[in-house]
Amino acid sequence: MNTIAFYTLFKKEVLRFWKVSLQTISAPIISALLYQMIFSHVMQGRGDVFPGVSYTAFLIPGLAMMSMLNNSFANTSSSLIQSRITGNLIFILLTPITYFEFFCAYVGAAILRGLLVGLGVILVTFWFGLPIPTNFGWILFFAFTACWVMGTFGLLAGIVAEKFDQLAMFQNFLIMPLTFLSGVFYSINGLPPFWQKLSHFNPMFYMIDGFRYGFFGKSDVSPYLSATVVSVACVILTIAILFLLKSGYKLRK
């Protein structure tokens, strides 16, 4: 592996979002805090979601994961399509960098941005009553793999989309509905049977439910099932994107 090429591209992608951190890091943290304040006020005193887990505490991991998913996707997708539209992608492709190093740099930066936003959300909302996590291992596993999945999916969207309008369709008609219907604001055990079963086909549900298990030791499904689903999604998307990058599909014209 050409570590210099990887590090240079990775640094470029990190600086890209870090130089506008007020927009890329602070803004999603503030949005999550507003969600927390509004829903905590509306749902205060409505009872525990899980035994011994208040709604205000239950909401925090869901908001953190939702923010991580959205920002990991946004980092790779916006960067790649912007480079394609402006034409500066050619300067990256001309360098002695392999498709694997290209993939690692883009997805690595997306993971870093997602983790920074997720950590920020937890830090500004923990005073709402978040208990000491029961299992840091599960938290780190789901945080890392979920950001990996969405960063990889962002690359797919950046390759397939031809313009920003098409990229927005991924965000508005796929990412946002799946995120809001994945159990961020509720436990699926409180849904009617049909909607419970339908929720099990949403991969983001497993990311959020497994992440939440790391905090409370309680979840709607087994964390091992969630880990399996997320891992399979991670492997499938990674193989697909590596194949597209190697072939140069829509990148080398």
Whether the model pTM is above 0.85: yes
Q: pLDDT per residue over 32-53, tens digit each? A: 999 999 988 777 666 668 888 8
Whether 112 maps to a domain, the answer reads yes
Task: Using the predicted structure, report yes or no on whether residue 251 has a pLDDT greater than 90.
Answer: no
pLDDT the model gives residue 46:
64
Domain that holds residue 14: 3-247
Percent of the chain residues topping a pLDDT of 90: 76
Whether 114 maps to a domain, the answer reads yes
Whether 238 maps to a domain, the answer reads yes
pLDDT the model gives residue 243:
96
Beta strands in the chain, from DSSP E residues, in sequence order: none
pLDDT the model gives residue 39:
86
Whether 252 maps to a domain, the answer reads no
**Which pLDDT band holds residue 130 (cuts at 50, 70, 90)?**
confident
Whether 243 maps to a domain, the answer reads yes
Give how many domains the chain has, as a whole number: 1
pLDDT the model gives residue 169:
93
Say what angle helices 136-160 and 55-86 make with each other, to 10 degrees. Answer: 30
User: Coil, strand, or helix at residue 157?
Assistant: helix
Q: pLDDT per residue over 173-229, tens digit each? A: 999 999 989 999 988 888 889 999 999 999 999 999 999 999 999 999 999 999 999
Q: Judge contact between 189 and 196, C-beta under 8 A.
A: yes
